[in-house]
Structure 1
Amino acid sequence: MATGTEPPRQRPSGVHGASRAAMAARHLRTDRWWLAPAGTAAGLFAFVVYSTWRAFAGADYYAAPYVSPFYSPCLAENCREMRGGPNWDLFGSWWGLSPALLVLVFPLGFRLTCYYYRKAYYRGFWASPPACAVAEPHARYTGETRFPLVLQNAHRYFFYAAVPVAGILTYDTVLTFRDAQYAWGHMGLGTLLFLVNITLIWAYTLSCHSCRHVMGGRLRHFSRHPVRYRLWGWVSRLNARHMQLAWASLISVAACDFYVYLLAGGAFTDPRIF
């Protein structure tokens, strides 16, 4: 018997709301729908573990003429490994932690707020939702309107920071055409790896949805802006491959760092092409 003091029952919402078809099963999919989010979660988790280890290591990130993309640009005085290399030393000697922590916040913020990566880790780690036509287990859904997910709106600003970072990595790639004595005319296996990496980095950065909006998102008449229209069309074609470029660039930047780590640790010498 109701006493009049009982709290009102919360009405079902989401897939269990009154406006949705009553269905006891969570979903009707019979394929292995869980493979995609599980594989995504495993891939992202592996990169997070590897990049965290390398970022806090503070060692084996420079083997002339190669500098790990995790540590470039090197902004602290404690970049002792890079004496004679591209060390900018803007923060002086007060920074005692790994120099990678000064720069990784920008590419990390860019990728963490990326539209594709949001979908990837929302599905892979939070099951929100785990897959198409599969209901998520959460009782409430607030989207990206509350902290901390409201910070995802900063993606466009991280894009502005990612462009100069890509420019610095381009400079580092040019420097790989020197030998260990900093003489030009060298090309090693690492040079090829860095060329592939910077190509993928630029392709991923320019295929960003924010870049597409910058190029032509506010234009009312494309015919009055033929140059921006061409750029918008080119970026739009890249944008169609944004997911593939996100994974390819993630793998390539880790591969370049690992290659430098092996060279700096003396595992082998860089095979010279010419």
Structure 2
Amino acid sequence: MWQWFNNAQPALSLRSKGLPLLLVTLLVTGGCASTQMAENTAPEDPWEGFNRKVFAFNDVLDRYALKPVATGYRAITPDPVETGVGNFFSNLGEVRTALNSVLQGKPSNAGLATSRFLINSTVGIGGLLDYATLMEITADEEDFGQTLAVWGWEDSRYLVLPFFGPSTLRDTTGMPANMATNPVNYAEDDIVRVGLTALKAIDIRAGLLDQEELIRGDRYRFIRDAYLQNRQFEVSDGELGDDPFASETFDFDDSGQDDSDFGDNEVTD
């Protein structure tokens, strides 16, 4: 439920590569989790029994705590204010993106993230306004889980964490470093630090209220598959593989077929 908090802020911006927003928005929403084991456990999810129990636990917390608060927050918060809050936390995330871009050997993306942070922190009034995007300065979000993948830890087992939600062993390993690069954690005033942390959770959860209705079938599997697909998309920088239909050399075998296979081809008025 809370993984978006310390990981790549997957909630609602899906980099700028064009993957449908739905993949990310469905990751953090809890649901009615069945404890029934699937007949065939997915290779990437060998701990499905444990994960489903944690998923159900997170769902209870979300249903009776976070979701009602997020619903009230959306009801009383003007849209411009809600947008400003989201921009503020997104701007803080540029620090993590810049550092991980350097670790991944992506100096160009590091420069873009740094530029975004400087512009939005000054002209954008502490990040409340996203002038960098208006200036067409965008950067791919990066975190330490992605850095570990670039360094060679490509495949990892799926793991649902209490409070934090969908993850993998690799992404969980990167969480302490993600927390260390979150400027909010360095606020000296405990009340300010806890308040900003709670506000971030509520704001992101409020942005997901509409997307919950799009989940179909087994909610656990839907969210798991969405999370793993999105993480693969992020790690590969949007490379989804070759499309055989886009290749001029794609050979469509039409042997054994003729016009009669398609029925009556005559056009009638």
Give 1 or 2 for the bigger CA radius of gyration.
1
TM-score range (shorter-chain normalised) is under 0.3
TM-score by length of 2: 0.25
Higher relative contact order (CA 8 A, sep 6+): 2
